[in-house]
Chains A and B, each alone.
Chain A
Amino acid sequence: MINNIKKLVKDFSLSELRGGMKITAKELINKKITVQFPEERTPISPRFRGLHALRRYPNGEERCIACKLCEAVCPANAITIESEMRDDGTRRTTQYDIDLFKCIFCGFCEEACPVDAIVETQIFDYAFVGSRDGNDNLQGQFGSVITKEQLLDVGNKNEKTINQTKLEDSKYR
């Protein structure tokens, strides 16, 4: 009996509805934590594995010596390398393709590289444009297969950040 009356009072005072509305009212004045993505970005770990890049030495010479360790270690067989002897007698790649659809961004190529040539940058917001090999590509865009020139280009443009993040991460390796 008493319980019935209690329930009746609870129902007719709309207490549960008021409880729900109190929560939404509280959220209305709460601080919003939305990150406005293109303008604002969340911090990224220096160990983040994003788009690949090929690096150069400070004198402009490309680091990659076509040892093909990355090609061998790649679990997804995403890397294709062809090499030949350059006029000065050093071995250099003629083709260095990474199929970004196959790539699983494990970072093994970076670990395997003896000269720190191939690295993974913090870039994650890129787009594939045009066909698979990006023949009809727009400026700075690429198809799902990223070529040696494009990889070197990414490296040139982001050398400063790559240098800094690798330095930060080196303490823990």
Chain B
Amino acid sequence: MMDLWLSFVELVHELIPWFDGSVAVVLIILIKAVALVMPLMLVVAYFTYAERKVIGYMQLRIGPNRVGPKGWLQPIADALKLMTKEIIFPTKANIYLFLLAPILAIAPAIAVWAVIPFDEGIYVTNLDISLLYVLAIGSIGVYGIILAGWASNSKYPLLGALRSASLLVSYEIVIGFALVTVVMIAGSVNLNTIVEAQKGSILHWYWVPLFPMMIIFFISALVETNRAPFDVVEGESEIVGGTHVEYSGMTFAVFFLAEYANMILMAVLAVVMFFGGWHSPFEGIPVMESAFAWVPGIIWLLAKTSFFMFLYLWIRATFPRFRYDQIMRLSWKVFLPWTIAWIFVVALMTQLKIGPWF
């Protein structure tokens, strides 16, 4: 693949003198980025469709079915609608901050995807500190929401932003500690290495020794992405739409994209950290392993991710919204002590070399 690319670069260099190695490097990065972002946006669009369908079915409805066969063109229609709508700026709002907010929300949501390993050797970049990068860049997303609340110059967005900020700060700690246990077992903060370390069988994946951490991570991911039942940031019944109140048209759509991109990211992260990334679940089972050897790793990763994405919808359809102080209590009084306690358990397990994981 790389040889082919290099010979292609040489060929073009003959024809166009300024097209040398450095331009080719930029070009290949651009191609990688587009190859990642375009499918991601498509998945986001159809994730909204899946959400409406699944929640509809769970509420004994049938969901959207008017645009195109079985409603398959609904996301396209939604996108067109949002693109053609007017962007309204509130009076006395700071327009620059107002426009900066959605950009700040979506940029990290997409940038984080650069280090996600989709298959053995399939990634945009292989950072040695990719987990730190994920946590660091992921935290920047909260600035988008805070700025949106502040720049709108309106009370409900401000309240939503305050809630969001305090929630994200509390749960970032929990997520950090939960992932520390993974790092302790894998001995690396490189996502590729973490996935490599889970090779073996379905029991070698880290969900077995870190089962409580897996659950805590997933619940915290719900809070981080402002999903039901923790979506107090946009609690319709109290603060209308939270930070989104003053946003319309494409600016709102960008927030929407960022939120869903983050959800899919958290699902992928759960798979990479706890469910063996691209490894087949049939590894280590004599006949099944060879029977499913032809399936590429990326398919396994996407299948596992889809399950977690479905779990998001399932949870949203099931549970009522938490009260704000209950979410806070859950974070500081339940999750944080448990994660810290589990760090000690994992430290003990690593020292005693229990199980196949260490």
Contact = CB atoms under 8 A, between A and B. Distances in A.
Nearest to B54: A28
Interface of chain A: mostly helix, strand, loop or mixed: helix
A24 B317 contact: yes
A17 B57 contact: no
A140 B65 CA distance: 30
A32 B62 contact: yes
Contacts of A21: 314-315, 318
A14 B215 CA distance: 10
Interface in A1-54: 14, 17, 20-21, 23-25, 27-28, 30, 32-34, 36
B18 interface: no
Contacts of A23: 318
B32 interface: no
A24 B314 contact: yes
Nearest to A25: B314
Nearest to B58: A24
A30 B319 contact: no
Quick one: which of B59, B61, B65, B317 has the most chain A CB within 10 A? Answer: B317
B88 interface: no
Contacts of A33: 60
B223 to A, nearest CB: 15
A34 B62 contact: yes
A148 B59 CA distance: 47
Interface string B290-323: 0000000000000000000000001101110000
A27 B61 contact: no
A30 B56 CA distance: 12
B328 to A, nearest CB: 18
A28 to B, nearest CB: 5
Quick one: which of A14, A20, A23, A24 has the most chain B CB within 10 A? Answer: A24
Contact of B318 (A24, A32, A36): A24
Interface string B234-267: 0000000000000000000000000000000000
Given A20-B319, A21-B318, A28 B57 contact: yes
B60 A32 contact: yes
B356 to A, nearest CB: 25
Interface string B31-64: 0000000000000000000000010011111100
B314 A27 contact: no
Contacts of B60: 27, 30, 32-33
A32 B319 contact: no
Given A14-B215, A32-B62, A27 B57 contact: yes
A23 B319 CA distance: 11
Contacts of B59: 27
A17 B319 CA distance: 8
Interface in B74-106: none
17 contacts: A17-B318, A20-B319, A21-B318, A23-B318, A24-B58, A24-B314, A24-B318, A25-B314, A27-B57, A28-B54, A30-B60, A32-B57, A32-B61, A33-B60, A34-B61, A34-B62, A36-B65
Interface of A: 14, 17, 20-21, 23-25, 27-28, 30, 32-34, 36
* The 7 residue pairs across chains A and B that have the minimum distance between CB atoms: A24-B58, A24-B318, A20-B318, A32-B62, A28-B57, A34-B62, A24-B317
Given A17-B318, A28-B58, A34-B61, 7 more contacts: A21-B314, A23-B318, A24-B317, A27-B57, A27-B58, A27-B60, A33-B60
